[in-house]
Amino acid sequence: MAASSFAPAAVPTWRPTPAQEQLLQACLLPEAPAQAAFRAWAAHTAPHTASLLSDAATWRLLPLLWSRWRRWPHTGEAAAAHALVAESLAEVKRTWLENHRRLKAANALAEQLAAVGVPVMLVKGLPLALQAYGDLGLRPMGDFDLVVPFAQVQPALQVLAASGWRPLPTPLKHSSGEEGEAALPPWALQPRPLQAFDALFLQVRHSHGFRHASGLEADLHWFVFQGHCDPGVDEGIWRGAAALASVNRAPGCQPSPLLLVPDPADHLLLVLSHAARWDVVPAVRWLADAALLLRAAPTLDWDRLRLEARRRRLTAVVAPMLALLQEQAQAAVPSAVVRELAEVRRSRRERLLAPVQPGSPDWRGGVEEVRYLHRRWRQLRRRTRAVDPVPDFHRFVRHVLGAPDLPSLDAYALAQLQRRLGWARSTPQASGQADST
């Protein structure tokens, strides 16, 4: 496919709007410029305050803004914006309570997994709230993410099942949160059976969601990075992990000493690569996650991040995000690292895919998803012994996606093609459901 056949790249969902930039600066900059940014944001949003209630990307940042705003002098200007931030105290309290429930559940799982010899690492939202934010009330999330080694995922699955955690349906792409489950076929709403977590599935997907009877949700990862699903790929991350309790900064919170957290360089790279994927709710809070993680880990090993970004071929994503982190949050990102990552020579495939944001719901993103599945199928066919052959590609995709039969898969593929070709004419709104991590 020629590069010229790609349409110009759309603005990535990780890049904030001008109003979101002002909000993030109010959250992250020193006091004087932060207050100036808040006044600019308040003036900018004053005519649209009501619409902010449905703007999930902005709403996610209000608890962090509240933690700064409460210490500032409040004038009579921009009363609506002040009232909106004041009302977010209720969200701070709700988030604090829910995240304490998540931490308690993570502690319990760590104990249960340790009993069968399985180490566990927390990534993204919950450990960021503890280490980077230093307050469980300031980082909203919909679930928590735990990682186990790939070689030990089967006993981990058994522990979760015995503890009341049930698999969610296999995640499939749909156009927007406005359509939600209505855009999916009925079979895609059924929980994935435990017996379907076999070697083929586990080496194509990197994680799967689970729900407890209490209503809590968790993502079980057996690989840390999406799309990087080769056994042994995460060995360096496991070697560099530390006890979460040793870096916890949240008063009154006690993570289990059995819970691990990645080295800050690995964790920052994960935050960036995860946020770079298209999301119906723009993932702009990655700037706050990254900036606060850097403040909590001022001696971050930039060589480690640089080498890992190159090894995983993430330089095209990481370089512009680190540059924006420098610019918007005044983060201590070495300019030499940004330049080096930006200048990395990329393969022909990487150049062709440059306009395609990972996970994009348009036709180009669909092509890349099929290419990924086909690439993994070829790799697994070469790797698997003759006594345990990989099925043909059609049946392989049916198994990975959880379709009950080949006609169901064909109907889903046709619906996806029609939706993706028409997606540009009906861009999803940022108020829908999204990755909740």
- How confident is the model over 12-66, as pLDDT tens digits? 888 998 989 999 999 999 999 999 999 888 887 766 666 666 688 888 999 999 9
Same-domain check for residues 236 and 211: yes
Q: Is residue 271 part of a domain?
A: no
Query: What residues make up the domain containing 38?
Result: 18-87
Domain assignment present for residue 278? The answer is: no
Residue 378 lies in a domain: yes
pLDDT at 288: 96
Mean pLDDT confidence for 411-426: 74
Type of residue found at 326: Q
List, as one string, the DSSP characters of 202-263.
HTT-SEEEEEETTS-EEEEESSSSTT---TTTTHHHHHH-EEGGGT---TT----TTEEE--
Q: Which of 87, 112, 128 is the last residue of a domain?
A: 87
pLDDT averaged over the chain? 86
Q: Are residues 171 and 145 in the same domain?
A: yes
Question: Residue 314 domain-assigned?
Answer: no
110 and 222 co-located in one domain: yes
Say if 360 falls within a structural domain.
yes
pLDDT bin (cut points 50, 70, 90) of residue 177 is very low
Q: Are residues 134 and 217 in the same domain?
A: yes
Q: Are residues 257 and 377 in the same domain?
A: no
State the residue for tokens 């200007």: 77
Are both 45 and 143 inside the same structural domain? no
Q: Verify that 133 and 237 share a domain, yes or no.
A: yes
Residues 202, 237 share a domain: yes
What are the structure tokens assigned to 309, written together?
């970004």
pLDDT per residue as tens digits for the range 209-244: 999 999 999 999 999 999 899 999 999 999 999 999
Q: Among residues 218, 242, 262, which one ends one of the domains?
A: 262
Q: Which helix (H) or strand (E) holds 142?
A: none
How far from chain centre, in Å, is Cα 57?
A: 13
Nearest alpha-carbon partner for 261 in 147, 175, 346, 364: 147
- Angle between the 18-28 and 315-329 helix axes, to the nearest 10 degrees? 70
Q: Which of 62, 87, 112 is the last residue of a domain?
A: 87
Q: What pLDDT does 181 receive?
A: 62
> What pLDDT score was predicted for residue 321?
93
Instruction: Answer whether residue 354 shows pLDDT above 70.
Output: no
Q: What is the pTM of this model?
A: 0.89
Q: Does residue 72 sit in the same domain as residue 204?
A: no
**Is residue 13, in this structure, part of any structural domain at all?**
no
pLDDT over 80 (residue 434): no
Largest CA distance in the chain: 75
Check residue 25 and give its pLDDT: 95
User: Do 437 and 219 form a contact (C-beta atoms < 8 A)?
Assistant: yes
Evaluate whether residue 62 is within a structural domain: yes
Domain presence at residue 400: yes
pLDDT digits (tens, 9 = 90+) for 284-308: 999 999 999 999 999 999 999 999 9
pLDDT on residue 94: 95
The mean pLDDT value for 142-166 works out to 96
Residue 81 and residue 130 share a domain = no
Instruction: Assess whether 71 and 156 both reside in one domain.
Output: no
Residues 226 and 130 in one domain: yes
- How many domains are contained in the chain? 3
